[in-house]
C-alpha cells in the first residue's frame, strides 16, 4: 500500500512536464516540498517507472546528483480538437508528444454525433499495443464556442446549442473526459510547451473563422462568471459599422476581422455577386494584397486597424508581457503583423511605456492538440485513480 500522499506525487509530476532533464534540487525549488517528502515521493515514482533516471551530475566536491525526466510511456492521452471545419484527434504520450493522428472534415453547422467522436478516438487508440491500452488515462477535448460548467457546449459551427457533450461521452467512454474552451486549450499549450513557459501574464488571441482570447494573469487562466471571459471577438470596435456579426450585433471585432468577414468584404468591394463569392478563400485576398491589389490592401487595412485597436484594449486591461497570435488569419502574417503592432502602439498612452511583445504562435496547427493533452494531464493528476494507473509499474498489468 502506497504511503506517499497524492499531493506530493502530483506536484512533482506537474513540475516535470516537458522538462527534458531536471535534478532533485530543482524539483524541490519548484514544488516547495521539503527535502524528505520530495525524496520519498521521487523514490516511489522512480521505482514505479513513472520517472526515469537519465544521468548523473557530479559536483566539484564529488557529490552525485541524479538527472531525471518523466517517462513518456508511463501514460497516454487522447486529444480531440473540435475546430470549425474539422476535428483533429491525437494519441499523445504522457508529456504531450503526438504519436498518432486522425482527422474528420465537418460541414458547417453539422456537428459530429457521439458515434463519430468514438470512431475518431478509436482510430488513434487502436495503434497502441495491448499493454499500452490500459495506460490511456483520459480524453482532453477543446471546444469552440461557449462551454458552460465544463459540460454544455454551444457552438454555431457545430450546430450545437447547450449540447451535453461531457455527459454523452462519459456514458460510453470508460476513462475520464475533460472539456476545455478552445482558447483555454491554446493558452495552456503556450504555457506548457510554447512561448509563454516563462511568462506569468500573457494573452493568446485566436484569429480565424472566429476570434477569441485566452487570458492568463499571474499564471491563472481567467474564467469569468459564466466561464466567458475572453469573448474578445464580440467587443464593439466600430459602433457605426453596418457589418453584421454572427452574435446579432454590428461592428464587433469578429464582424470586421474574421476570415469570413474578410472574404465577404473583399468580394463585395470587388463587385462580385453573392453567387460568385462561394468557395472564396482568405488566402486569395492575401495573394492579391501581395501583388498590391488596392481592394485587397484596403480590406486588410481595416482588419489591421480593428485587431490592433482590439488588442490595445486587452493590453490596457490586463497588462500582459506577451501577446501570442494564432489561427488561420496568420497565413497573412507578413501582411498583418507589422500593422497590428503599429496600431497597438498607436492606441497605448505614452505613460504606459513600450507595448508588450506580439508574436505568432510557434505551435502551428497542433496547438489545440497540445493544449488538450495538457488539460488531460493536469486534470488526471487530481484523480487518485489516474495517479494509481500512472504509477503502476510498467511491468505489471493495471487492475483498477
Closest distance to Zn ion from the beta carbon of 264 (Å): 15
Phi and psi dihedrals of 67, rounded to 5? -105, 130
Closest separation in Å from C-beta 252 to Zn ion: 3
How far is the CA of 203 from the CAs of 199, 229, 304, 321, 361, in angstroms? 10, 12, 18, 8, 11
Closest separation in Å from C-beta 236 to Zn ion: 8
Shortest reach from residue 97's CB to Zn ion, in Å: 37
The strand pairing partners of 325, in sequence order, are: 205, 360
Residue closer to Zn ion by CB (options 201, 246) is: 246
CB of 246 to Zn ion, least distance (A): 6
Which residue lies nearer to Zn ion by CB, 70 or 158? Answer: 158
Q: Which is nearer to Zn ion, 140 or 144 (CB)?
A: 144
**Shortest separation between residue 387's beta carbon and Zn ion, angstroms:** 42
Closer to Zn ion by Cβ: residue 258 or 380: 258
The distance of closest approach from Cβ of residue 253 to Zn ion in the complex, given in angstroms and rounded to an integer, is: 8
Nearer to Zn ion among residue 252 and residue 372 (C-beta): 252
Burial tier of 200 (Cβ tally within 10 Å: 0-12, 13-18, 19+): middle
Specify the length of the chain in residues: 400
The answer to whether the beta carbons of residues 324 and 361 sit under 8 Å apart is yes
Nearer to Zn ion, 24 or 249 (CB): 249
Nearer to Zn ion, 168 or 249 (CB): 249
Q: Are 2 and 40 in contact (CB under 8 A)?
A: no
Provide the CB-side half-sphere exposure for 400 (13 A, CA): 15
In terms of phi and psi (left: phi > 0; alpha: psi -120 to 50; beta: otherwise), the region of 164 is beta
Contacts to Zn ion by CB under 5 A = 234, 245, 247, 249, 252
- C-alpha distances in angstroms, 301 versus 221, 250, 282, 352? 32, 19, 14, 25
Please, what is the minimum distance in Å from the beta carbon of residue 249 to Zn ion?
Answer: 5
Q: Is 4 exposed, middle or buried (0-12, 13-18, 19+ CB in 10 A)?
A: middle
64-70/51-58 β-pairing: antiparallel
Q: Which residues contact 260 (CB under 8 A, 6 or more apart)?
A: 209
CB of 135 or CB of 234, closer to Zn ion: 234
Nearer to Zn ion by C-beta: 247 or 321? 247
Taking the complex as a whole, the smallest distance from the CB of residue 119 to Zn ion amounts, in Å, to 34
CB neighbour list of residue 237: distance below 8 Å, 6 or more residues apart: 251, 252, 253, 256, 306, 309, 310
- Measured CA to CA, the distance from residue 217 to residue 232 in angstroms comes to 16
- Helix-then-strand count for the chain, H and E: 14, 16
Amino acid at each position: 500500500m502506497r504511503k506517499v500522499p497524492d499531493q506530493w506525487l502530483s506536484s512533482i509530476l506537474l513540475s516535470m512536464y516537458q522538462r527534458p532533464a531536471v535534478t532533485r534540487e530543482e524539483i524541490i525549488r519548484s514544488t516547495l516540498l521539503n527535502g524528505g517528502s520530495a525524496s520519498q515521493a521521487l523514490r516511489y515514482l522512480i521505482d514505479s517507472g513513472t520517472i526515469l533516471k537519465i544521468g548523473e551530475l557530479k559536483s566539484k566536491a564529488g557529490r552525485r546528483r541524479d538527472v531525471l525526466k518523466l517517462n513518456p510511456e508511463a501514460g497516454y492521452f487522447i486529444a480531440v480538437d473540435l475546430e470549425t471545419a474539422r476535428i483533429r484527434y491525437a494519441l499523445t504520450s504522457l508529456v504531450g508528444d503526438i504519436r498518432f493522428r486522425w482527422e474528420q472534415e465537418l460541414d458547417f453547422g453539422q456537428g459530429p454525433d457521439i458515434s463519430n467522436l468514438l470512431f475518431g478516438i478509436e482510430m488513434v487508440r487502436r495503434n497502441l499495443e495491448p499493454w499500452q491500452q490500459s495506460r490511456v488515462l483520459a480524453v482532453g477535448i477543446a471546444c469552440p464556442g461557449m462551454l458552460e460548467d465544463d459540460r454544455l457546449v454551444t457552438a454555431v459551427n457545430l450546430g450545437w446549442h447547450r449540447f451535453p457533450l461531457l455527459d454523452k461521452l462519459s456514458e460510453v467512454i470508460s476513462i475520464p473526459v475533460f472539456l476545455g474552451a478552445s482558447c483555454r486549450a491554446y493558452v495552456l499549450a503556450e504555457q506548457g510547451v510554447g512561448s509563454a513557459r516563462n511568462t506569468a501574464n500573457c494573452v493568446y488571441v485566436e484569429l480565424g473563422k472566429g476570434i477569441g482570447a485566452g487570458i492568463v494573469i499571474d499564471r491563472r487562466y481567467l474564467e469569468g462568471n459564466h466561464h466567458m471571459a475572453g469573448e474578445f471577438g464580440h467587443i464593439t470596435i466600430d459602433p457605426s459599422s453596418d457589418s453584421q456579426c454572427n452574435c446579432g450585433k454590428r461592428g464587433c471585432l469578429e464582424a470586421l476581422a474574421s476570415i469570413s468577414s474578410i472574404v465577404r468584404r473583399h468580394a463585395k468591394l470587388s463587385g462580385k455577386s453573392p453567387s460568385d463569392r462561394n468557395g472564396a478563400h482568405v488566402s486569395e485576398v492575401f495573394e492579391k494584397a501581395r501583388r498590391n491589389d488596392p481592394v485587397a490592401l484596403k480590406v486588410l487595412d481595416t482588419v489591421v486597424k480593428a485587431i490592433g485597436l482590439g488588442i490595445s484594449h486587452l493590453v490596457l486591461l490586463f497588462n500582459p508581457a506577451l501577446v501570442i497570435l494564432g489561427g488561420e488569419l496568420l497565413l497573412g502574417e507578413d501582411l498583418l503583423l507589422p500593422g497590428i503592432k503599429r496600431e497597438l502602439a498607436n492606441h497605448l498612452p505614452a505613460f504606459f511605456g513600450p507595448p508588450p511583445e506580439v508574436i505568432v504562435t510557434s505551435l502551428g496547427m497542433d496547438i489545440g492538440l497540445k493544449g488538450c493533452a495538457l488539460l488531460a494531464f493536469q486534470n488526471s493528476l487530481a484523480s487518485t485513480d489516474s495517479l494509481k494507473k500512472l504509477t503502476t509499474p510498467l511491468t505489471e498489468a493495471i487492475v483498477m
